[in-house]
Chains A and B, each alone.
Chain A
Amino acid sequence: MVPLLLVMLSVIGWPFIDTVRLSFTDARLVGAGGDFVGAANYQRIFASTAFWRAFFVTTEFAVVSVFVEVVLGVLVALLLYQNFRGRNILRALLILPWALPTVVNALLWRLIYNPEYGALNAMLVQTGLLDDYRSWLGDPNSALVALIIADAWKNFPLVALISLAALHAVPHDIKAAAVVDGANALSRFRYVILPYLVGPLMVALILRTIEAFKVFDIIWVMTRGGPANSTRTLSILVYQEAFSFQRAGSGASLALIVTLAVTMLAVAYAALIRKSAGARF
């Protein structure tokens, strides 16, 4: 056990410790080791507009896409919970977007958003909602929203599946009791379904927020953080700092800040779950 633990600690711990060390140096990606510069990297990061801009872009991306995923996921779960013909086929299809590799999904949506032959432009212009083709990913005003839609489309099935499982856990008798008690559809959702949905949904929410906060690949494939840095999230910023600009030292500082932020998010969520669980039982 002890040797195994040591191996694990060094495998996981050493890169982490080395990152911490790097973050206090002005090391370049290639070349000499760099000199100790104290907290200078951190000071520069917190003073830079690029960092704060990326922070807000990341937050917007995470909050909006997770919100859309949860609303869409729950609605779709409620729909697929009903008894109708073809329900099982739809349930199977539901998994598809989620099963798609992120890169494939990103390329798919790049095609959809394509300014010349994209399906979205074609659809909007043909239905008269839009006068002219637009470059959805090329416009700083629409690029982030376009990304959020692409990401939410891929990830809402996870929320839907978790919600569907939770719906099936609602005891039949309680649903029947609410019908006899005269509750309408909205009250039945509020008082019968929701209490059973909140717990699992909370877990989905945490998983998705943390993942969304770390988002990199879908953005890298679709916009590389552009145009005009309008979709540059923290992970993209870390990558650019460390690899594009070859500043390993401040790249490491930035990476640690992101890690810390995500960890704080996770801890806050965990506390929230404990609190809401305590209130309910």
Chain B
Amino acid sequence: MSTLDLIGVSKSYGITEILTSIDISLASGEFLVLLGASGCGKSTILNIIAGLLSPTSGEIRIDGKRINEVHPKNRDIAMVFQSYALYPNLTVERNIGFGLEMRGVGKAERQAAIVKVARILKIDGLLDRKPAQLSGGQRQRVAIGRALVREPKIFLFDEPLSNLDAKLRMEMRAELKRLHRMLGTTVVYVTHDQIEAMTLATRIAVMREGQIEQIGTPEEIYNRPATAFVAEFVGAPPMNMIDATLDADGLQLEGSGQRIGLPGKRGRSRQVILGLRPEDLHIADASDELVIGATVDFAEPTGPDIIVFARHGGNPLVASLPSHLQIDPESQTRFSFSIENMHIFDRATGQRIEP
């Protein structure tokens, strides 16, 4: 049985629909990341799960039981906020223990739980401090500790790392992954950062304007994006999107008019988008069959890779190549790719097509 279910959950403010029929089913121990641009409704979903907002329609279930009418404090859920939301005049110790204190857990038991969690998070030396005396990373740990200590059924995280600097963000990311492995709890985690999503999630739900565009494992999302939106949103640098016509024999690229032959036969021709990830492009040699020609604008070494910015038939084309390659500006280059790395989307609907 699933731990958390959202069934047809919608939310409107007046005539503005913020969420449209959200369906999510989460098994125990899963780490679901809601990934999407700012304003697409990620926090609204979390707040509905937590009970801080009620949906306009639809049902929320925990362990199969409807909880729409259950007060947030009785939902067995803990939430970590982007702003940390620590109580400013309470010590770290009381901040962490606040949920237990409010639930009438005795002092000794509370203290034991606090110390245990503080050890796990390596903040046991800070228990007497006030939040204002902590660094951003330490505050984040306290906020996580406050959620952990209650041993809830479900953890909700709302962009917990977005206020940290890059190095700390990476550390905390690893830390969260370690915690999830160790505790095996169910997590719903909101972020607009696709790296966070790819590294943390057991499943990702890519959101767009109040709808779930695709939900799947990081591999599915990356290797088989269901829509052009997902394809462009996930991956850095983003996937190359080239307008093309799909006909009986293969693809004809717009701009250059280049033809790419595909095995099998298709019916009527249709307007499509060909998607190629920069990391799936290689320097072609004579034996390669699937090839696209381009003129190099410039190249940026990033360390392990070199990012080549080129043009194909007037459209930009980006390739990520091993850094030992020498790429000269203004040179004509032929990139090869393999058929399983091609992504084709219907241009009108954005839906993935299997050619």
Contact = CB atoms under 8 A, between A and B. Distances in A.
B136 interface: no
Nearest to B133: A281
Contacts of B72: 179-180
A195 B102 CA distance: 18
B89 A195 contact: yes
A192 B83 contact: no
A195 B87 contact: yes
B89 A191 contact: yes
A64 interface: no
A176 B99 CA distance: 12
A281 B99 contact: no
B168 interface: no
A18 interface: no
B79 A174 contact: no
A199 to B, nearest CB: 11
Most A Cβ at <10 Å: residue of B82, B87, B90: B87
A173 B81 contact: yes
B98 A176 contact: no
Contact of A173 (B77, B85, B89, B99): B85
B132 A281 contact: yes
B70 to A, nearest CB: 12
Interface stretch (A9-17, A115-123, A148-156, A181-189): A181-189
A173 B102 contact: no
Contact of A191 (B73, B81, B90): B90
A177 B73 CA distance: 10
Interface string B56-100: 000000000000000011000111011111111110000000110
B134 interface: no
Contacts, number: 64
A187 B50 CA distance: 20
B132 A184 contact: no
B146 interface: yes
A281 B133 CA distance: 8
A180 B79 contact: yes
A173 B103 contact: no
Interface residues of B, number: 26
B174 interface: no
Contacts of B81: 173, 176-177
A187 B47 CA distance: 21
Interface residues of A, number: 18
A165 B229 CA distance: 43
- Which of B47, B81, B89, B132 has the largest number of chain A CB atoms within 10 A? B89
A182 B85 contact: no
Contacts of A192: 87
Contacts of A280: 88-89, 130, 132
A171 B121 CA distance: 25
B176 interface: no
Contact of B88 (A180, A183, A195): A195
Contacts of A180: 50-52, 72-73, 77-79, 99
Residue from B82, B85, B86 whose CB has the most chain A CB atoms within 10 Å: B85
Contacts of A177: 79, 81, 85, 87, 146
Nearest to B97: A181
Given A191-B90, A280-B89, A182 B132 contact: no
B85 A174 contact: yes
Contacts of B103: 182
Nearest to B90: A191
Contacts of B102: 181-184, 187
A180 B90 CA distance: 17
Contacts of A176: 47, 50, 52, 79, 81, 85
A281 B50 CA distance: 31
Interface of A: 171, 173-174, 176-184, 187, 191-192, 195, 280-281
10 contacts: A173-B85, A174-B88, A177-B85, A178-B98, A180-B52, A180-B79, A181-B98, A181-B146, A280-B132, A281-B130
What are the nearest 3 A-B pairs in CB distance? A182-B73, A173-B85, A181-B99
